Amino acid sequence: MIRTIATEKKPIKLWLDDIDLDTLQQAKNLANLPFLFHHVAIMPDAHIGYGMPIGGVAATEGVIIPNAVGVDIGCGMCAVQTSLSALDTPQLKRILQAVRQTVPLGFQHHKKPQPGGRMPEFGRGRTEKELPIVAREYASGLLQLGTLGGGNHFIELQLGDDGYVWIMIHSGSRNIGYQVANHYNKLAGIFNKSHGALVPDKWQLDYLPLPSDPGQRYLREMTYCVEFAAANRAAMMSRVREIIAEFEPSTTFSPLIDVAHNYAALENHFGREVIVHRKGATRAAKGGIGIIPGSQGSVSYIVRGKGNPESFSSCSHGAGRRLGRKQAQRELDFTKEVARLEQQGILHAIRHKRDLEEAAGAYKDIAIVIGNQRDLIEIVTTLKPLAVVKG
């Protein structure tokens, strides 16, 4: 931890020393919530979000905050180690071409519904009546399962310092998560206004009482979206494994590592059962394996958590943005950003000036981000980018 701010109702514990004023104000808003538990933890990749900073961790008692999870519920990372020790440029290009042909990117969906068996089940005490938004969006979800989406989502081939090629995928719950998030955030706004507006509207942190019917429905639907996001990543990973095996039939693959970084969960911290909201933050329980990606121009990491209670056993979810999307398009030099990637021999996704929003220069230095959280995680494997597909 870098420092603690003690000027608000609850402390703010920071794992970075370069927090901007807008992000800091969002952290202060969290620290002044009447139902916040113990303290706010701000990870080293933090930057401004809607209501809560991306890279923020906040625990609450008795309430749940949809905007403290965000619209891409369950967004996260998965990774697999292959038995390959190298892939040359022609092989990488063939794999990327096959990925682009078979994995829908951006706003694209599958033309036919995917096998229903890959979708999370309604069972285990969950009915369509108890998951109304999921049930409404289920048919479209069958078209979205195994699709990447846009923004900072990616499929990347990497070479680890363990001597093996890895596959890494970053994606979320697609439109199902978006619909669930918007529905319950609106209900939270209605509840907040009708019960004395305990939270100022401009904070964008409207809440639902956890024991209430809407609070319980949100918890169930959010959990389903977390499972859908994991199933979505697993479907894409299965396809990428199939593509690699088509070119290299003897390839074997390690078990899937999968972590979410946008969700809320009941956990025990400092002797109390609380709802921990992680928005752009990854669970880093003691001994737990996590994934912290860099940008398409920097290394990524497989890490092991240390279970630090001061971060609610959490760590960063990536490098974190240095520049906003439009700001990156305005300020970054297209020629320099492309040259940076090509000098490293990376098959990248910067084709047009609009792609600068995902250029390496738009992100923080991952080495500094990792260095700031050495009390939260230890590095297991360092992964150098070889080739990337973006949405």
Catalytic residues: 317
Q: Tokens representing 282?
A: 């990854």
Pick from 311, 312, 50, 8: which is nearest to 205 by CA? 50
Q: Tokens representing 1?
A: 């931890």
Provide the strand spans (E) within the chain.
Answer: 3-5, 12-14, 36-47, 54-60, 63-64, 76-81, 154-160, 165-171, 208-209, 257-260, 262-269, 272-279, 281-283, 289-292, 300-305, 314-316, 377-390
- Cβ contacts of residue 125 below 8 Å, gap of 6+? none
Residue for token pair 């639902």:
208
Report the Cα 225 to chain-centroid distance in Å.
13
CA distances from 11 to 17, 58, 149 (A): 16, 11, 36
- Cβ contacts of residue 126 below 8 Å, gap of 6+? 220, 224
* H-assigned helices in 210-319: 213-247
CB 312 within 8 A of CB 41: yes
Helix (H) or strand (E) holding 338: helix 334-343
Pick from 282, 248, 249, 246: which is nearest to 78 by CA? 282
Per-residue DSSP letters for 128-174? TTTSHHHHHHHHHHHHHTT---STT-EEEEEEETTS-EEEEEEE--H
Residue for token pair 């920071």:
14
Pick from 191, 190, 193, 151: which is nearest to 171 by CA? 151
CB 303 within 8 A of CB 288: no
The strand pairing partners of 73, in sequence order, are: none
